[in-house]
Amino acid sequence: MRVTRESLIRIAKETLQERLYNNKDIIAAYLTGSLLTEDPLLGGVTDIDLVLVTANKPLMTREIVGLTPDFHLDISFRARAEYDPPRELRANPWLGYEVYDLMRLYESRHFIEFTQSAVRAGFEFHEPALVLQRCRKLLDHGRKIWFDLMDVGDAAGPKEVAKYLKSLYHAANVIAELHGPPLPERRLLLLLPSLAEQAGRPGLSVGFLGLLGGTDLDASTLEGWLPGWESMFKAAFETGKADVRIHPARLNYYKKCFEAMLGGDDPRVMLWPLLNTWTHAAVVLPEDETQTWQAACATLGLAGERFGEHVEGLDQYLDELDILLDEIAQANGLETSTSI
């Protein structure tokens, strides 16, 4: 079966028609994510990020629907209230960019038109004041998560590592949102170096990889981890308790991406999606079923005493981002974090 961007968009539209027929509460629908780009495939696979906006609170927030072993629908459900007031979305680091750049599929009463117009009003969305506001929110969230890790010591388990990675994800997106949208999970380490370069801080990309413990990783080590990752991915889904991204329909979405990255210029770029999903799987599994994850974390320095060292490194990394934002604010005549 030949799959193209156009054929995936067509599937999204067909799915929408079915959902509209069966759910009269839907007031708008749009596409986001990789299908907005000219080349959405990575490792020959991608997903369809479909957002359905409902008049009332939806029964679920996210649904994964398998299409073929290599393609799936990732459907997000959002209540209309999440978009109110529309103008304030400009300061939202997640939903703001989603609304700013979307592919409209359906709307009633001009919902998307009015909401997007409010977000884009006055060409202010990319002005330094709003950019810094979004970045500050990301940095503050990352810092709050860091505070929760201060006293963990050498008792770090899957939940603590998951928090650590969440803080790191917010930190990476501070860099990303200086010049564009949040980073997609699979492409994070592919895109981060150029974004750090744009920010005038190329060392932030190197430092991020170091905080993951991936500086000295080689392809053979990463490849050797894949069987353990896959086994835990499948086992975690069977528990019925895993994060929604841990789903059989998404197995090849990750696995074929990893295989492509292993054959690329820098196999280490697979470390973020590999470790992030592996950790989400470990969170819901008994300790005796997570040995491969534990061994990988030991290699990366994310276990035992070395975890505390990584938390200290994260503290310094967040401070460096804080300084960067202050420098940008000062250069644009805006308030710094010390003057707020």
Beta strand segments in 90-194, E: 103-107
Burial class of residue 59 in the structure, from the number of CB atoms within 10 Å of its CB (0-12 exposed, 13-18 middle, 19+ buried): exposed
How much is the pLDDT for 154?
A: 76
Angle, CA 205 vertex, CA 281 and CA 143 arms, to 5°? 65
Tell me how far apart the alpha carbons of residues 253 and 43 are, in angstroms, rounded to a whole number. 8
- What pLDDT sits at residue 340? 53
The pTM for the full model equals 0.96
Q: Where does 196-256 show beta strands of DSSP type E?
A: none
Give pLDDT tens digits for 170-211. 999 999 999 999 999 999 999 999 999 999 999 999 999 999
Q: Do residues 284 and 72 lie in contact, with contact meaning Cβ atoms separated by under 8 Å?
A: no
Bond preceding residue 158 cis, omega within 30 of 0: no
Structure token pair of residue 313: 């490194």
Question: Can you tell me the mean pLDDT for 32-55?
Answer: 96
pLDDT of residue 31: 98
Q: Write down the pLDDT at residue 254.
A: 98
Greatest alpha-carbon pair distance for the chain in Å reads 58
Q: Label residue 1 by pLDDT band (50, 70, 90).
A: low
Residue 29: per-residue pLDDT: 98
Assess whether pLDDT exceeds 90 at residue 123. Answer: no
- Phi-psi sector, 200: left (phi>0), alpha (psi -120 to 50), beta: left
pLDDT mean over 285-299: 97
* Structure confidence at residue 282 as a pLDDT band (50, 70, 90): very high
Q: What is the mean pLDDT of residues 105-110?
A: 97
**pLDDT exceeds cutoff 90 at 339:** no
State the Cα–Cα distance between residues 269 and 3, nearest whole angstrom.
25
- In this prediction, residues 150-167 reach a mean pLDDT of 91
pLDDT at 80 over 60: yes
Domains of the chain, first to last: 5-122 (3.30.460.10), 128-322 (no CATH)
**In three state form, how does the secondary structure of 174-188 look?**
HHHCCCCCCCCCCCH
